[in-house]
Protein backbone atom coordinates (compact mmCIF):
# COMPACT_ATOMS: atom_id res chain seq x y z
CA UNK A 1 0.00 0.00 0.00
CA UNK A 2 3.05 2.27 0.05
CA UNK A 3 2.76 5.24 -2.27
CA UNK A 4 5.12 8.19 -2.60
CA UNK A 5 3.46 9.65 -5.69
CA UNK A 6 1.40 12.60 -4.51
CA UNK A 7 -2.28 12.47 -5.38
CA UNK A 8 -5.09 14.82 -4.37
CA UNK A 9 -5.46 13.30 -0.90
CA UNK A 10 -1.69 13.17 -0.36
CA UNK A 11 -1.19 16.76 -1.48
CA UNK A 12 -4.04 17.87 0.78
CA UNK A 13 -2.67 16.02 3.81
CA UNK A 14 0.85 17.39 3.27
CA UNK A 15 -0.45 20.93 2.94
CA UNK A 16 -2.72 20.53 5.98
CA UNK A 17 0.21 19.29 8.08
CA UNK A 18 2.50 22.15 7.01
CA UNK A 19 -0.26 24.74 7.49
CA UNK A 20 -1.06 23.41 10.99
CA UNK A 21 2.57 23.78 12.04
CA UNK A 22 2.94 27.22 10.42
CA UNK A 23 -0.27 28.45 12.06
CA UNK A 24 0.92 27.26 15.49
CA UNK A 25 4.20 29.13 14.91
CA UNK A 26 2.31 32.28 13.91
CA UNK A 27 3.72 32.24 10.37
CA UNK A 28 0.74 30.78 8.53
CA UNK A 29 0.48 31.94 4.95
CA UNK A 30 -2.77 30.14 4.22
CA UNK A 31 -5.30 28.14 6.18
CA UNK A 32 -6.68 24.67 5.65
CA UNK A 33 -10.17 26.06 5.03
CA UNK A 34 -9.56 26.52 1.29
CA UNK A 35 -8.26 22.99 0.71
CA UNK A 36 -10.27 20.31 -1.07
CA UNK A 37 -12.68 18.65 1.36
CA UNK A 38 -12.98 15.10 0.09
CA UNK A 39 -15.08 12.60 2.01
CA UNK A 40 -11.90 10.91 3.32
CA UNK A 41 -11.17 13.93 5.53
CA UNK A 42 -14.44 13.52 7.44
CA UNK A 43 -13.97 9.79 8.01
CA UNK A 44 -11.93 8.44 10.92
CA UNK A 45 -8.29 8.14 9.93
CA UNK A 46 -4.95 7.38 11.56
CA UNK A 47 -1.82 9.16 10.37
CA UNK A 48 1.78 9.58 11.40
CA UNK A 49 3.52 12.83 10.56
CA UNK A 50 7.29 12.62 10.16
CA UNK A 51 9.45 15.73 9.99
CA UNK A 52 13.03 15.71 8.68
CA UNK A 53 15.71 18.40 8.34
CA UNK A 54 18.80 17.78 6.24
CA UNK A 55 17.78 14.13 5.93
CA UNK A 56 17.67 13.65 9.72
CA UNK A 57 14.60 12.89 11.80
CA UNK A 58 13.22 16.04 13.47
CA UNK A 59 9.95 14.66 14.85
CA UNK A 60 7.49 11.83 14.36
CA UNK A 61 4.14 11.44 16.09
CA UNK A 62 0.98 9.67 15.04
CA UNK A 63 -2.10 7.64 15.77
CA UNK A 64 -2.24 3.86 15.56
CA UNK A 65 -6.03 3.74 15.48
CA UNK A 66 -8.56 5.79 13.56
CA UNK A 67 -10.61 7.38 16.33
CA UNK A 68 -11.25 10.92 15.03
CA UNK A 69 -11.83 12.50 11.62
CA UNK A 70 -8.76 12.41 9.39
CA UNK A 71 -8.75 16.24 9.16
CA UNK A 72 -8.39 16.47 12.95
CA UNK A 73 -5.82 13.66 13.16
CA UNK A 74 -3.51 15.25 10.60
CA UNK A 75 -3.57 18.66 12.31
CA UNK A 76 -3.06 17.24 15.82
CA UNK A 77 -0.24 14.90 14.80
CA UNK A 78 1.55 17.52 12.69
CA UNK A 79 1.64 19.88 15.67
CA UNK A 80 2.62 17.07 18.03
CA UNK A 81 5.49 16.01 15.74
CA UNK A 82 6.70 19.62 15.54
CA UNK A 83 6.34 20.60 19.18
CA UNK A 84 5.85 17.57 21.44
CA UNK A 85 8.15 14.77 20.28
CA UNK A 86 10.13 14.22 23.51
CA UNK A 87 13.29 13.39 21.55
CA UNK A 88 13.60 16.92 20.15
CA UNK A 89 13.16 20.55 21.19
CA UNK A 90 10.08 22.26 19.71
CA UNK A 91 10.44 23.24 16.06
CA UNK A 92 11.11 26.95 15.52
CA UNK A 93 9.78 29.26 12.83
CA UNK A 94 13.33 29.54 11.47
CA UNK A 95 13.51 25.76 10.97
CA UNK A 96 10.17 25.38 9.22
CA UNK A 97 11.30 26.33 5.71
CA UNK A 98 14.04 23.66 5.81
CA UNK A 99 11.78 20.99 7.30
CA UNK A 100 10.34 18.29 5.06
CA UNK A 101 6.93 16.82 5.89
CA UNK A 102 5.95 13.18 5.30
CA UNK A 103 2.50 11.79 6.02
CA UNK A 104 1.71 8.09 6.47
CA UNK A 105 -1.95 7.03 6.38
CA UNK A 106 -2.32 3.72 8.23
CA UNK A 107 -4.58 0.79 7.45
CA UNK A 108 -6.27 -0.82 10.46
CA UNK A 109 -3.80 -3.01 12.37
CA UNK A 110 -4.37 -6.75 12.22
CA UNK A 111 -3.22 -9.09 15.00
CA UNK A 112 -0.60 -11.65 14.05
CA UNK A 113 -0.66 -15.33 15.04
CA UNK A 114 2.63 -17.12 15.64
CA UNK A 115 4.05 -20.10 17.50
CA UNK A 116 7.40 -18.55 18.48
CA UNK A 117 9.51 -15.45 18.07
CA UNK A 118 11.20 -17.03 15.05
CA UNK A 119 7.79 -17.69 13.51
CA UNK A 120 6.71 -14.07 14.14
CA UNK A 121 9.93 -12.70 12.66
CA UNK A 122 9.57 -14.98 9.64
CA UNK A 123 6.11 -13.57 8.91
CA UNK A 124 7.27 -9.94 8.79
CA UNK A 125 7.36 -8.39 5.32
CA UNK A 126 10.18 -5.84 4.98
CA UNK A 127 9.16 -2.50 3.44
CA UNK A 128 5.48 -3.55 3.59
CA UNK A 129 4.58 -4.09 7.24
CA UNK A 130 4.44 -1.57 10.01
CA UNK A 131 4.51 -3.45 13.32
CA UNK A 132 3.00 -2.76 16.73
CA UNK A 133 4.47 -4.62 19.71
CA UNK A 134 2.58 -4.74 23.02
CA UNK A 135 3.57 -6.42 26.27
CA UNK A 136 1.89 -5.32 29.49
CA UNK A 137 2.41 -1.56 29.72
CA UNK A 138 5.08 -1.64 27.01
CA UNK A 139 4.10 -0.55 23.51
CA UNK A 140 6.04 0.49 20.43
CA UNK A 141 5.63 0.69 16.69
CA UNK A 142 7.78 1.02 13.62
CA UNK A 143 6.31 2.36 10.38
CA UNK A 144 7.12 0.36 7.23
CA UNK A 145 9.67 3.07 6.32
CA UNK A 146 11.87 1.92 9.25
CA UNK A 147 12.76 -1.17 7.20
CA UNK A 148 14.90 1.16 5.04
CA UNK A 149 17.33 1.61 7.95
CA UNK A 150 16.72 -1.80 9.62
CA UNK A 151 16.32 -4.29 6.73
CA UNK A 152 17.21 -7.36 8.80
CA UNK A 153 14.08 -8.90 10.36
CA UNK A 154 15.80 -9.94 13.59
CA UNK A 155 17.38 -6.51 14.05
CA UNK A 156 14.06 -4.83 13.23
CA UNK A 157 12.34 -6.87 15.98
CA UNK A 158 15.18 -6.28 18.46
CA UNK A 159 15.02 -2.51 17.93
CA UNK A 160 11.22 -2.53 18.15
CA UNK A 161 11.44 -4.27 21.53
CA UNK A 162 14.00 -1.68 22.61
CA UNK A 163 11.71 1.14 21.50
CA UNK A 164 8.90 -0.41 23.57
CA UNK A 165 11.18 -0.34 26.62
CA UNK A 166 12.03 -4.05 26.64
CA UNK A 167 15.42 -5.77 26.41
CA UNK A 168 16.34 -6.57 22.81
CA UNK A 169 16.62 -10.29 23.58
CA UNK A 170 13.34 -10.48 25.53
CA UNK A 171 10.57 -12.78 24.34
CA UNK A 172 7.32 -13.98 25.83
CA UNK A 173 4.34 -15.64 24.22
CA UNK A 174 2.33 -12.86 25.91
CA UNK A 175 3.80 -10.35 23.45
CA UNK A 176 1.10 -9.17 21.06
CA UNK A 177 2.14 -8.23 17.56
CA UNK A 178 -0.04 -6.50 14.98
CA UNK A 179 0.82 -5.29 11.52
CA UNK A 180 -0.47 -2.58 9.24
CA UNK A 181 0.46 -0.95 5.97
CA UNK A 182 0.60 2.71 4.94
CA UNK A 183 0.07 5.03 2.05
CA UNK A 184 2.74 7.68 2.36
CA UNK A 185 3.43 11.01 0.80
CA UNK A 186 6.51 13.20 1.15
CA UNK A 187 7.07 16.81 0.21
CA UNK A 188 9.26 17.11 -2.88
CA UNK A 189 11.46 19.80 -1.38
Record the pTM. 0.89
CA 105 to chain centre: 8
Structural domains in the chain, CATH included, are: 8-106 (3.30.700.20), 110-182 (3.30.1490.150)
pLDDT tens string 18-65: 999 999 999 976 665 555 667 889 999 999 999 999 999 999 999 999
Mind listing the pLDDT tens digit for each residue in 94-132? 999 999 999 999 999 999 999 999 999 999 999 999 999
Give which of 129, 142, 116 is closest to 57, Cα–Cα. 142
The helix (run of H) or strand (run of E) holding residue 148 is none
Amino acid sequence: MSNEIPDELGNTLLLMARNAIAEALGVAQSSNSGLPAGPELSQPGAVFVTLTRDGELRGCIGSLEAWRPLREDIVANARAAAFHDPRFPPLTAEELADTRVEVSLLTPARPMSYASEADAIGQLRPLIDGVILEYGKHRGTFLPQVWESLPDRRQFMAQLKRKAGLPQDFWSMDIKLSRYQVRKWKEAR
